[in-house]
């Protein structure tokens, strides 16, 4: 990595000696590992729960190690849910929302950051304001619109409102504001119109932020629960998160299968994150600044 030639001290630390990098990183590892354990152990517990029996889950004091691992819970997931269909729905709505947001938010973000036009401040305030009311405010009106369009029970219906994002616009706006003017100036001087500037100069630089937006949007969309639950009336047109929620029975819940389903549902996203974070955050920064 290009920065490897420099030592940068983290916040709050005493000035470092140059060199002896690996030695001085040991304490960083200790800190990170301890924090990491705190971050991860509820997930470990979730994993253990998915391999237990319901009796063990419901007992007090709680049972940590199930003894005999109930792999059958994972098989049961597939018999209780149309898992693959719901997986496919989750993928579809997530792709639509993510691609939609990447395109729309980067464009709008760039405009808000770098262009002058009347009412820009007002429009920006309006866009941000939608984040400031309880999200349940939108339930009934959005349902009526989607119903009116005949989009109940469809991927389009579930995905549509999520394609437009104030959060994404804000994220991209902040990024574009941080890009030095010199680049844009140079392109303009070369006679490029705003779209060409955006496409050829700005967008290639936006890798890390687009990556961050992708990860966050994918995650939000994957775990989105209430809206898909309301718009779909058939198990086959629900995404995974909604399908898993249906495990909650009225008085008894099959926690073990529910946890198993959650683990299965989480796995693809985790994989996606692992792949994305390497390629985007680690790799693409700093290209094109020279």
61 upstream amide cis, omega within 30 of 0: yes
CA distances from 1 to 6, 92, 205, 284, 285 (A): 10, 35, 17, 11, 11
We find the least distance from the C-beta atom of residue 23 to another protein, in angstroms, to be: 10
Phi, psi of 267 (to 5 degrees): -55, -50
110 binds another protein (CB under 8 A): yes
Structure tokens at 82: 């149309």
Segment near another protein (CB under 8 A); pick from 68-76, 90-98, 190-198:
190-198
We find the least distance from the C-beta atom of residue 22 to another protein, in angstroms, to be: 6
We find the least distance from the C-beta atom of residue 92 to another protein, in angstroms, to be: 18
160 binds another protein (CB under 8 A): yes
Structure tokens at 96: 């639509």
2 binds another protein (CB under 8 A): yes
105 binds another protein (CB under 8 A): yes
Segment near another protein (CB under 8 A); pick from 65-73, 84-92, 267-275:
267-275
Q: Which of 271, 263, 253, 265 lies closest to 54, judged by CA? A: 253
Contact with another protein (CB under 8 A) among 71, 72, 78, 177: 177
281 binds another protein (CB under 8 A): yes
Site string for another protein, 114-153 (x = CB under 8 A): -xxx--xx-xxxxxxxxxxxxxxxxxxxxxxx-xx---x-
CA distances from 39 to 33, 34, 57, 119 (A): 10, 9, 22, 44
- Taking residue 58's Cβ as centre, other Cβ atoms within 10 Å add up to 14
Q: CB-based contacts of 197: which residues, under 8 Å, 6+ apart? A: 184, 187, 188
192 binds another protein (CB under 8 A): no
Q: What is the total count of residues that contact another protein (CB under 8 A)?
A: 147
Nearer to another protein, 9 or 69 (CB): 9
Nearer to another protein, 44 or 84 (CB): 44
77 binds another protein (CB under 8 A): no
């Amino acid at each position: 990595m290009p920065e490897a030639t420099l030592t940068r001290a983290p916040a709050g630390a005493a000035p470092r000696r140059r060199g002896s990098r690996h030695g001085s990183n040991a304490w960083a590892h200790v800190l990170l590992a301890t924090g990491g354990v705190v971050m991860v152990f509820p997930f470990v517990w979730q994993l253990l729960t998915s391999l237990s029996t319901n009796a063990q889950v419901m007992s007090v004091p709680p049972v940590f190690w199930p003894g005999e691992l109930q792999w059958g819970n994972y098989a049961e997931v597939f018999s209780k849910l149309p898992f693959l269909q719901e997986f496919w729905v989750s993928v579809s709505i997530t792709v639509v929302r993510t691609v939609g947001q990447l395109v729309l938010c980067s464009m709008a973000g760039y405009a808000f950051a770098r262009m002058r036009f009347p009412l820009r401040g007002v429009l920006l305030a309006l866009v941000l304001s939608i984040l400031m009311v309880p999200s349940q405010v939108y339930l009934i009106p959005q349902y009526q619109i989607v119903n009116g369009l005949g989009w109940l029970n469809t991927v389009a219906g579930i995905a549509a409102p999520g394609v437009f994002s104030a959060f994404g616009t804000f994220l991209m706006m902040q990024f574009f504001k941080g890009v030095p003017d010199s680049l844009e100036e140079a392109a303009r001087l070369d006679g490029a119109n705003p779209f060409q500037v955006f496409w050829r100069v700005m967008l290639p630089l936006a890798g890390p932020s687009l990556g961050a937006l992708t990860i966050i949007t994918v995650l939000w969309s994957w775990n989105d629960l209430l809206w898909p639950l309301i718009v779909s009336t058939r198990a086959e047109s629900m995404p995974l998160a909604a399908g898993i929620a249906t495990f909650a029975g009225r008085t008894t819940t099959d926690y073990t299968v529910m946890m198993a389903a959650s683990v299965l549902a989480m796995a693809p996203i985790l994989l996606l994150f692992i792949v994305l974070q390497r390629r985007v955050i680690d790799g693409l920064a700093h290209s094109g600044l020279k």
